[in-house]
A and B are shown apart, each in its own frame.
Chain A
């Protein structure tokens, strides 16, 4: 009776790693379809918005230009995790391949970890291109510190986690699309990413101290400039809280579906 696979193999750190590597390959292979779209969206949202804000503002003093340009990489990072990832999950629900994904013989945490890894890393080229274009357009003197590494990774991981949580927790894919479109609208028009939070009315500024967008911009701006951001550790903490919080949300949602 060799047909029954030995169950001892299907647990433990080694099995998890094998599953994780397999899922990474699976996700990378399926990313061929949307990788180019991702890069285009990122550059349009990051560099494109930095240019557009400049057109709206007209002649800017260099401090304002620095603010706009250092917001560009945040704008490029955000839509990947928060709009495109939930969109892909929604497509799987529409195509009825969603249950298939969860039926693969790997630990669910390995599947999730693979999504986080891929989306966090795929955001990097768009991040760099957007920063380069914005820096060139506004002729910036940036002081890039090593903090850029944790700042980008955490910002990207956080937005991937929010998108993952929303994508899995919202049962109806149409509603997912409405939510992500609304998020993008909110971020582009009403978020202190490319503009100082002091421009915002008190109530909206208070909301943005809880929401993650301002904090994303803060950690990234802090790693690119000197003296523009105060209390950056607070922003790291808020981003960390959103990351963990949305992991719990996703865990609850995925368990509920079982």
Chain B
């Protein structure tokens, strides 16, 4: 009766098993998105470079401060749009096509699935980010001071953005609602957050609100890693951003745990 023998439990835990599952899930994500990958990267590059270039059309003569803000802000936009917009829509699609439950039935730890998605977002986001920065350097005379702080800033921004999208997508049941929320989010990111422009150009109440939302801290931490003397009190930004990251992990864990 070997057919009924339970699987060897020893294999299915521990760092080795986790690492193996993580690699499998990264491959899974990249393979299932292989058709979407080139299109998405192209869109990212076009919008990233587009934002940098269109500022010259908004102003006749672009002020250096505006150029610096949009050039550093657009990096944040390319980093978070996939996690905040594409991610939730993919999950909405899985819910609509009823493959959602299948994905969570895969024999891997759920943390590996989440981290594999963050990794995939990094792979999706980096080309657009790099091209936007190069275009900005070619187009404007930027005063950039790149410091090692850019690495934790980019990683924390990407992680938090992705996990917020993840939490929204898992917590909301209705695919149409997810689509509407993500559309509003992208509108908010591009137009109503102090990412591509300084906070003092927003109305006072909105700027005050953004001190407690994750978007402005994302821009502040990334900008602090690329410039000198532009961002004040970056520690606070890291704390706010970290709190949002932890909260969205908590929401996702609670929702997935309840399902499980």
Tell me the A residues contacting B by CB distance below 8 Å. Answer: 44, 48-49, 51-53, 55-59, 185, 189-190, 192, 195-196, 198-200, 204
Give Cα A51–Cα B198 distance, bound, in whole angstroms: 15
Closest 5 CB pairs of A and B: A52-B191, A189-B54, A58-B201, A199-B60, A189-B50
Segment 179-211 of B: residues with Cβ below 8 Å from A: 187, 190-192, 196-198, 201-202
Whether B59 sits at the interface, judged by CB under 8 Å, is yes
Whether B90 sits at the interface, judged by CB under 8 Å, is no
Tell me the B residues contacting A by CB distance below 8 Å. Answer: 46-47, 50-51, 53-60, 66, 70, 187, 190-192, 196-198, 201-202
Q: Are B57 and A199 in contact (CB under 8 A)?
A: yes
Cβ-defined partner of A195 (8 Å) among B51, B57, B197, B201: B57
Cβ-defined partner of A55 (8 Å) among B55, B60, B201: B201
Known: A52-B190, A56-B196, A56-B197. A200 touches B57 (CB 8 A): yes
| Total residue contacts A-B, CB cutoff 8 A | 54
Determine the chain B residues whose CB is within 8 A of the CB of A199 once the complex forms.
56-60
Give Cα A195–Cα B66 distance, bound, in whole angstroms: 16
Determine the chain A residues whose CB is within 8 A of the CB of B197 once the complex forms.
55-56, 58
Determine the chain B residues whose CB is within 8 A of the CB of A55 once the complex forms.
191-192, 197, 201-202
Determine the chain A residues whose CB is within 8 A of the CB of B201 once the complex forms.
55-59
Q: Are B58 and A58 in contact (CB under 8 A)?
A: no
Give Cα A122–Cα B60 distance, bound, in whole angstroms: 35
Q: Are A57 and B59 in contact (CB under 8 A)?
A: yes
Cβ-defined partner of A56 (8 Å) among B47, B60, B66: B66
Nearest Cβ on chain A to B242's Cβ, whole angstroms: 27
Determine the chain B residues whose CB is within 8 A of the CB of A190 once the complex forms.
50, 53-54, 57
Cβ-defined partner of B191 (8 Å) among A51, A192, A198: A51
Determine the chain A residues whose CB is within 8 A of the CB of B196 once the complex forms.
56
Give Cα A55–Cα B196 distance, bound, in whole angstroms: 9
Closest residue to A200 on the B side, CB-wise? B57
Determine the chain B residues whose CB is within 8 A of the CB of A196 once the complex forms.
60
Closest residue to B201 on the A side, CB-wise? A58
Nearest Cβ on chain A to B208's Cβ, whole angstroms: 15
Closest residue to B46 on the A side, CB-wise? A185
Determine the chain B residues whose CB is within 8 A of the CB of A200 once the complex forms.
57
Determine the chain A residues whose CB is within 8 A of the CB of B53 once the complex forms.
189-190
Q: Are B58 and A56 in contact (CB under 8 A)?
A: yes
Cβ-defined partner of B47 (8 Å) among A57, A185, A198: A185
Give Cα A48–Cα B66 distance, bound, in whole angstroms: 20
Give Cα A199–Cα B187 distance, bound, in whole angstroms: 25
Closest residue to B62 on the A side, CB-wise? A199
